[in-house]
Chain A
């Protein structure tokens, strides 16, 4: 087996990862999955390493997923959120980085509402920086766990027809998935009203559709994005009813899917908006699967970035 190192110190996004590097992370995740099935769900690999989750934007599932991943690898974890008094008093990200630097932490997992914040942080610290979502830019571990989930189900990603439906414009999950899945050879479509598509989206390697009906029959994966209610007031679309009709997935539309097709969603779900309650509960939905994949993938990322030689 060829010795391959992940030649990155940080995980800031998928855009600059090669298909080989993505494969390597997924393969590592596969080897780590069984740890979560044991009685003693722990290995000593990252013992003595300190991993900080710095979440300046709210999150439950990503934060707990990362913390659990770190703990299962025996790392010490530290959790700082936006409610921390120092941030309320106006502490800048740069100063927070300096404080953490003084503690010689090994990795910082950052979620932030400004695009590029993870890259900015990586220049302020010697620790490895893992982007857990920066503004509208990228959410790399989400894309990796989605790829892992898809690969597990279909055995491959190359050649699959995947449709991402929803607010592409504001979605970092969409961007990361576009980069990741197209690198792995999938045929990607983005489905949204013109007002929720980013400018020059046609310059990315994706097809564009303006209604979910257009992609139901041919897709192997329907990936739904959460719709934020505020977008209606910003005039991105006239009403939830109209959005649901054109872009939502309900029991009737699900009937048009191929038998082997799966439905995915990064969570949290807006029941009754982009996905009806019944569909959300269907066995075909891989939403639960994404959560377990998330843990293995995040363990892999931590192992590869923090576990190696510095």
Chain B
């Protein structure tokens, strides 16, 4: 019964192409009305003059680490981190221990999510059993239990025949297959981008072709089978061009990029700081520029964090031995708002983290349409924040952006009509 009225904010709803000052009414956990002026008595009122009101953000690539790696992160700590980053829905990757390749594990995630009751968690199930790249997983049962997509994230399926069969079978359940493009032999145990920086530092490199060869193959397999592919964490200029051509030919191909690949390059490696060790690796400056261009011309559909928590001892060690990955739930919004709002415009930018992921994964989220769940993120575009990883809700703090001064400050985060974040913290 509770009504929530958000007054006078700048409503940015890319799915409905709305960018204007208006009032927004929420009732019984759903969007009730959006209008110039709404005069209704409400139990809660948010004065949003000067603030931006947009759909709750969606992060399509998050590692929750539970079950199996709870010392790095749990479903609870990650959910809090998400909300604190303005993210009300997220897709979680199956490379936990055990790998999410049977329906009871999907049930486990769903139950945990219900218990924590913060961000909406949409599980991605393994494409092959154990993500070993050999036998297909039970995609029908997994989809039935709630999987929204399939992936063997962490590596590629090097056996082309297995990938072909997996894509063919996926058409039965109409769910996208998420691809981590990295040909194992070409990657050859590399730790960083293959190039001058790797040469100077004496580190083994992963050449761009390790990614591009898989992207080329899987685009053609999508053409052959009709299966939908979604390429995760694009990193090279060549990859962007391959996806651009595939889209021109109207193939069922989509893709995402991370903030760190858009903002950093391999020149950051010179101190051997493992907070810059990621997979795929940070590439060169021209790759970075090509990714931004791809974001601008809509070759790249989504921005996702690839939130990859690791414990301190796994990162604070010799570079070769350090784990790959950085966290990102609590920095995604501020980073993209600070650096790309002017480049691509607010409506399009928000679309990359709301409407587009919702559309690709068919999620009941990412929009401010009447009748849809009231997941809303409200921020002050004129305020500033300083990244302080010691204050994160995440259990881990492996971020390359610690200390960065960024634009935009989250004021409220609303999930299903409940205010779950305000005054700089989660509402207990």
- Name A's B-contacting residues (CB within 8 A): 15, 92-94, 112-117, 119-120, 134-138, 172, 175, 198-201, 203-204
Known: A93-B317, A116-B272. Is A138-B202 also a contact (CB below 8 A)? yes
**Given the complex, which residues of B lie within 8 Å of A113, measured CB to CB?**
320
Q: B7-15, B138-146, B191-199: which lies at the A interface?
A: B191-199
- A94 contacts B316, CB within 8 Å? yes
B195 → chain A, closest Cβ, in Å? 5
A188 → chain B, closest Cβ, in Å? 15
User: Contact check: which of A92, A112, A117, A199 meets B199 at CB < 8 Å?
Assistant: A199
CA distance A201 to B317 in the complex (A): 28
Closest to A134 in B: B202
Identify which of B195, B196, B200 gathers the most chain A CB atoms within 10 Å of its CB.
B200
B424 within 8 A of A: no
B428 within 8 A of A: no
CA distance A198 to B200 in the complex (A): 9
- B195 contacts A200, CB within 8 Å? yes
Known: A94-B317, A120-B318, A120-B319. Is A115-B202 also a contact (CB below 8 A)? yes
Known: A92-B313, A199-B205. Is A114-B318 also a contact (CB below 8 A)? yes
B236 → chain A, closest Cβ, in Å? 14
**Given the complex, which residues of A lie within 8 Å of B108, measured CB to CB?**
none
- A114 contacts B195, CB within 8 Å? no
Identify which of A114, A135, A203 gathers the most chain B CB atoms within 10 Å of its CB.
A114
13 CB < 8 A contacts A-B: A93-B317, A94-B317, A113-B320, A115-B319, A117-B319, A136-B202, A136-B204, A175-B199, A198-B198, A199-B194, A199-B207, A200-B196, A200-B199
- B200 contacts A175, CB within 8 Å? yes
Closest to B316 in A: A94
**Given the complex, which residues of A lie within 8 Å of B204, measured CB to CB?**
136
Closest to B198 in A: A199
**Given the complex, which residues of A lie within 8 Å of B203, measured CB to CB?**
115-116, 135-137
**Given the complex, which residues of A lie within 8 Å of B321, measured CB to CB?**
114
CA distance A280 to B196 in the complex (A): 34
A67 → chain B, closest Cβ, in Å? 24
Identify which of A94, A115, A137, A204 gathers the most chain B CB atoms within 10 Å of its CB.
A115
- CB contacts under 8 Å to A, within B280-320, are 313, 316-320
- B201 contacts A116, CB within 8 Å? yes
- A135 contacts B200, CB within 8 Å? no
A132 → chain B, closest Cβ, in Å? 14
Contacts A136-B203, A199-B198 supplied; 9 other A-B pairs, CB < 8 Å: A93-B318, A114-B320, A115-B202, A116-B202, A116-B318, A117-B318, A135-B203, A135-B320, A199-B199
